[in-house]
Amino acid sequence: MNLNVDGENIYGADIPWLYALRKKARDAFVKNGLPTAKTEAWKYSYLPSGILDEFTIAAEPHHCDGHCHEKESLPFDCRQIKFCNGSLEHIAHDLPRGVMIMPLIEAVENAEIKPYLNKSFAVGEFPFADLNTALAEQGLFIVIGKETELQEPIYIHYHQHEGAPKLNNIRNVIVLEKGAKATIIEDFDAKEDAHYFNNIVNEIYVGTDAFLQHYTRQNEAAEARHVALNSVAVKAGGQYRDFVVHNECLYARSESYVCLKQENASAEINGAYRLQNSGHSDITSNIRHLAPHTFSDQLVKGVLDGKAHGVFQGQIHIAPNAQQTEGRQLHRALVLSDGAEVDCKPELEIFADDVKCSHGSTCGDLDAEQLFYMQSRGIALDDARQILIAAYLNEVFGKIEDVAVAEWLKSIF
């Protein structure tokens, strides 16, 4: 794969600060390479070393037969934005006062994005993010202004048609200023037989007393690969709430890197995954409590069947002096077949004493007693299993306040 960002035809070559950043990220990616089985954070989810050679980054004219401009019909009101084959097709207009959404390209042109681009994590920390930084031309810059409450969610739809195997590097920067409030829903889907690799990086800045509700529905094509990083910085009193749903695809990894930087910042990171065949799903999080009185809570539930591979890695880090902090984390997996594998690594890293931290992990099959009880009341075994699986997942979906969104997220299972 051609990673030559020295060339003049690559986007941003004429903007010195951007060019410097891209070159630095490119150099880091070339030096570190793709993560391997020996990379601790990727040991369960490394990809074959030549994987990227299968894909092209060149945008090609696509044949979307007009569907791209049609609005999705969704069970909730929202402002819709659409990417097709990794290119921005449609952006929301007529935004209320205090809300700004612009394409990444425009945002780098007028440098407003500069204080945010690649500022929530360092180059060299996340290999796929470095690749994204070096190459991304597509994406959004979203700013919700001071004390602005955006009622309708921003819905971002990423759709993939068939075509040459494509690596999509999309970079979104989302800024909530002081007291702002918004909901962002990301939805990934594709034509059934599409072959592509989505490499998504969201940098999210939650300002003082701001609130962001973030949902991600990953419903990629069976042959898709999907790597997403949400790098989040939360200021005093800010709240970040995230829910990610993974349907099955060849390979999916959603990683959250959340820094609770000031007092009373909080994060809730929940998720669910359901795998039936031989897909790979990885939900990884690193929640960094960097200030006193910060709070985090996490529940992830998964159901695995067939030869599927589920991975959960969750780190709670409590910095020295981050006293009177609470971090809770729980992962539960239902393993329905002997061919399935679940790897789980919850991790606590604690450098302050006056804290309440806990994590838990469980793993098991459906309860035989419950199944039998239902059967004895006349429910067929298969139905009983489905009921119990749904009940199992309901615990985590029940954490979503908006019932319509919860049902919509669940509908891909």
Residues in contact with other proteins by the rule CB under 8 A: 40, 320-321, 323, 333, 335-365
Q: Tell the smallest beta-carbon distance from residue 300 to other proteins (Å).
A: 13
Half-sphere exposure in the Cβ direction for 381 (13 Å, CA): 5
Q: Tell the smallest beta-carbon distance from residue 352 to other proteins (Å).
A: 6
Output 123 or 350, the one with its CB closest to other proteins. 350
φ/ψ of 289, rounded to 5, equals: -85, 105
Output 92 or 335, the one with its CB closest to other proteins. 335
Q: Tell the smallest beta-carbon distance from residue 359 to other proteins (Å).
A: 5
Q: Tell the smallest beta-carbon distance from residue 25 to other proteins (Å).
A: 26
Output 145 or 292, the one with its CB closest to other proteins. 292
Q: Tell the smallest beta-carbon distance from residue 335 to other proteins (Å).
A: 5
Output 220 or 255, the one with its CB closest to other proteins. 255
Q: Tell the smallest beta-carbon distance from residue 247 to other proteins (Å).
A: 21
Output 92 or 342, the one with its CB closest to other proteins. 342
Q: Tell the smallest beta-carbon distance from residue 276 to other proteins (Å).
A: 14
Euclidean distance between the first and the last CA atom of the chain, given in angstroms as a whole number: 35
Output 237 or 310, the one with its CB closest to other proteins. 310
Nearest to 80 by CA among 93, 62, 97: 93
CB atoms within 10 A of CB 90: 15
Output 358 or 386, the one with its CB closest to other proteins. 358
Output 25 or 366, the one with its CB closest to other proteins. 366
Output 34 or 348, the one with its CB closest to other proteins. 348
- In the 3-class helix/strand/coil scheme, how is the chain assigned residue by residue? CCCCCCCCCCCCCCCHHHHHHHHHHHHHHHHHCCCCCCCHHHCCCCCCCCHHHHCECCCCCCCCCCHHHCCCCCCCCCEEEEEECCEEEECCCCCCCCEEEEEHHHHHHCCCCCCCCCCCCCCCCCHHHHHHHHHCCEEEEEEECCCCECCCCEEEEEEECCCCCEEEEEEEEEEECCCCEEEEEEEEEECCCCCEEEEEEEEEEECCCCEEEEEEEECCCCCCEEEEEEEEEECCCCEEEEEEEECCCCEEEEEEEEEECCCCCEEEEEEEEEECCCCEEEEEEEEEECCCCCEEEEEEEEEECCCCEEEEEEEEEECCCCCCEEEEEEEEEEECCCCCEEEEEEEEEECCCCEEEEEEEEEECCCHHHHHHHHHCCCCHHHHHHHHHHHHHHHHHCCCCCHHHHHHHHCCC
Q: Tell the smallest beta-carbon distance from residue 302 to other proteins (Å).
A: 11
Output 351 or 373, the one with its CB closest to other proteins. 351
